[in-house]
Amino acid sequence: MSVHTEVPSLSRGLPVAYKRVRLWQWPLRIMHWIVVLSVAALIVTGFYIGTPYFMSEGQAADHFVMARMRFTHFVAAGVLVATAIVRVYWLFAGNKFERWDALLPHTRADWKNLWLILKKYMFIEPAKAPHYLGHNPIQEISYTTMYAVAVVQILTGFYMYSLSNPGGLLFNAFGWVGIVVGGAQVARLLHHVLTWTWLIFIPIHLYLTLRADVVHQESRISSMIGGGRYVRADLDFVDD
């Protein structure tokens, strides 16, 4: 369902018709914000576990900072895994903007549009870039890449956790990860290095989302809160 309203155009000062389009259903929006909180907690606690960046005075038994950090890290990891399981289900139960076929460019037109959108991000011929209601090809690739990063970190994380009980259930389930990556130290290094991909992705994601709202008036941020966004009624959208 679309709602039309008249707002002034920023470019010409003339009234332009906008319509509200429903994109993201409530399960996906909740999962998005749970992932935001989980990843933030994992980054903060993970860096502390790797290299404690502050120390507490007194006996360790009086504060248990490392134990609390580890506990928070493991809880956040469990929440992330649970969210990932629901997200896999939603790849088949969601709408056309949320399903598995919206995760990667899969047509020749998508790959052609990828280059045009990349040029738009670099402020090169932005008027020639196609318009998308959901994720454009660059967003699809970047988000799917981060999904893959999360999977590798989950596997290496469970493997490192399983080392506390060799021969246990978790070790039997994830011991193969150590064989694939080349041992515990490589797994730890990979787990740590991949954290930096999040620290690179997050500010870029925030910048492009804010720019889409401010420059292109695409209401991207509010769409992850209310589920819909306002788009110009006079534009043609590739995925409409």
pLDDT in tens, 105-131: 888 888 989 999 999 888 888 888 898
| pLDDT value at 15 more than 80 | no
CATH number at residue 194: 1.20.950.20
Question: What does the pLDDT look like over 135-144, one tens digit per residue?
Answer: 999 999 999 9
Q: What is the pLDDT of residue 54?
A: 76
| pLDDT value at 10 more than 50 | no
Q: What is the pLDDT of residue 123?
A: 84
**163 lies in a domain?**
yes
Task: Name the band, by pLDDT with cuts 50, 70 and 90, for residue 62.
Answer: low
Output the six-digit token pair for 144.
């799917």
| More confident position, 124 or 154 | 154
Mean pLDDT over 42-70 rounds to: 83
**90 lies in a domain?**
yes
Considering the chain, what percentage of its residues have pLDDT values greater than 90?
Answer: 55
**197 lies in a domain?**
yes
Mean pLDDT over 195-200 rounds to: 96
**121 lies in a domain?**
yes
Mean pLDDT over 180-191 rounds to: 95
**235 lies in a domain?**
no
Q: In angstroms, how far is the first alpha carbon of the chain from the final one?
A: 13
Mean pLDDT over 65-72 rounds to: 91
Look-up: residue for tokens 């490392």?
Answer: 66
Q: What is the pLDDT of residue 239?
A: 87
* Phi (first) and psi of residue 89, to 5 degrees: -60, -40
Q: What is the pLDDT of residue 58?
A: 65
Residue ranges making up the domain that contains 47: 24-55+66-216
**232 lies in a domain?**
no
Task: Name the band, by pLDDT with cuts 50, 70 and 90, for residue 167.
Answer: confident
Please tell me the total count of domains within the chain. Answer: 1
Q: What is the pLDDT of residue 199?
A: 96
| pLDDT value at 147 more than 80 | yes
Give the Cβ contact number of residue 240 at 10 Å.
Answer: 11
Mean pLDDT over 68-93 rounds to: 95
**222 lies in a domain?**
no
Q: How many helices (H) and strands (E) does the chain have?
A: 7, 3
**15 lies in a domain?**
no
Mean pLDDT over 21-43 rounds to: 95
Q: For 222-232, give one letter per residue: b (16+ CB within 10 A) or e.
A: ebbeebbbbbb
